A = this chain, B = another copy of it.
Amino acid sequence: MAKIIECVPNFSEGRSKEVVESIVDEIRGIEGVKLLDYSMDEDHNRSVVTFIGVPRGVQRAAISAAIKAAELIDMEKHTGGHPRLGATDVIPFIPIRESSIEECVEIAREVAREIAERLSIPTFLYEAAATRPERKNLANIRKGQYEGMKTRIKEEGWEPDFGPREVHPKSGATVVGARMPLIAFNVNLGTSDINIAKKIARVVREGGGGLKNVMAMGVMLEEKNIAQVSMNMINYRQTPLYRSYEMVKMEAKRYGVPVIGSEIVGLTPVDALVDVAEYYLQLEGFSREQILESHLYE
C-alpha cells in the first residue's frame, strides 16, 4: 500500500490571489499529489495550503512551492497580523497512512536542506524534527519575527540547521518540521452547565493528570444549549479517540451527566476511525490491507 504524507505549508501572502494561485499551481502539477484545500487570510496576509500524496511527490511539491514563493514574495514589503519569518514561513509534514513520524522527520530534513542549498535561505527544524529542545516550539523560533531574526540568527544557539547564517534579504527564513495529524474531537454532555464541561476538560487533558496528547476545554454550544468538552487529539496513534471518549464518559458520571453525542471537526485520517472500530468490536488480527479501498491508491 502507498505511504501517504500530508503537508500544510504557510506562505506570507494572503492578499494577491494571483501570487497564491501561482504557488498552488506548483503543487497541482505534481504527480501523486492531491491538493485538498487552500485559504487566504487578508488580515494576516498569509495563506495556508493543504495537500497529500506519496512521500516523494509531497517532498517535490513542497520544494517547488517554496521556490515559487521565493520568486514572488518579498518579505521587506510584507505586513500582516500573524507572526512570520519568511516567504515560505513554515512547512510541516504529517504521516497519514503507512508512514511514521520518523519518515516525516527525514523528509523535513531533506526539504530544509534543499531549500537552504538551492535558495540560500536559512532553515530551522521544529517539532519532531527539532535538533534542540528550544526549537521544538514554533512560536519560540518565530519570536521577533522576520525583522528580529536578522540579528537573532547571529546569536549563540540560533545558527540555522541548514543554509547561511544570514536571513535572506527577500525570502527571510523558513521553518520545516514533522508532527502528527491533529484531530478536533468534541464530546457533548447532557447538561447546560458549562462548569461541568470545564471540570471534566481539566482532568481529561494531559496537563490535568489525564490523557497524554489530549488538550481539552469546556465550551458552551449556545444554539443547542448544551455543554461540550472540546478536545484536540495531537497523537491519535498513541492516544486514540475511544480512550478520550470513554474518559469523558467516566468523569461525567461523577456529576450524573450522560454523554449524548460527539463530533469530529474537519479532517481525520481513516485510521483514527478504524482504531475505534477495532477497539469496540474487539477485532483481532485486523490488517489495513483488508480494507478494500486501501488498494485503490497503491
Known: A273-B277, A276-B277, A277-B273. A296 touches B264 (CB 8 A): no
Q: Is the CB of A242 within 8 A of B292?
A: no
- The verdict on A268 contacting B281 (CB below 8 Å), with A273-B273, A274-B273 known, is no
Contact B270–A291 (Cβ < 8 Å): yes
A21 CB, nearest partner CB in chain B, Å: 20
- In the complex, whether A6 has a CB less than 8 A from a CB of chain B is yes
Q: Which of B181, B276, B290, B297 contacts A281 (CB 8 A)?
A: B276
A295 lies within 8 A of B261 (CB): no
* B residues near A53, Cβ cutoff 8 Å: 296
Cβ-closest chain B residue relative to A241: B281
List 11 contacting pairs A-B, 8 Å CB cutoff, sorted by A. Answer: A34-B295, A52-B295, A241-B281, A242-B280, A245-B280, A245-B281, A259-B282, A264-B283, A267-B290, A269-B292, A276-B277
Q: Is the CB of A34 within 8 A of B292?
A: no
The 7 closest A-B pairs by CB, nearest first: A276-B277, A273-B277, A280-B280, A261-B284, A261-B282, A267-B292, A270-B291
Contact indicator per residue, chain A 253-294, by CB within 8 Å of chain B (1) or not (0): 000000111111011111001101100111111100011111
Report the separation of the CA atoms of residues A170 and B4 in the bound assembly, to the nearest whole angstrom.
47
Q: Is A36 an interface residue (CB 8 A)?
A: yes
The answer to whether B295 and A296 have CB atoms under 8 Å apart is no
Which of chain B's residues have a CB closer than 8 A to the CB of A273? 273-274, 277, 291
Q: Which residues of A contact B (CB under 8 A)?
A: 4, 6, 34, 36, 52-53, 96-97, 181, 188, 241-242, 245, 259-264, 266-270, 273-274, 276-277, 280-286, 290-298
What B residues does A263 contact at CB under 8 A?
Answer: 283-286
Known: A34-B298, A292-B96. A284 touches B268 (CB 8 A): no
| CB pair B293 A97 closer than 8 Å | yes
* Cβ contact within 8 Å between A264 and B245: no
Other-chain contact of A292, B268, B286, B293, B294 (Cβ < 8 Å): B268
Contact residues in B for A262 (Cβ distance below 8 Å): 281-284
Q: Which residues in B have their C-beta under 8 angstroms from that of A277?
A: 241, 273-274, 276-277, 280
CB distance from A131 to the nearest CB of B (A): 29
Report Cα–Cα, A276/B279, bound state, in Å: 10
Asked if A292 contacts B261 (CB within 8 A), the reply is no
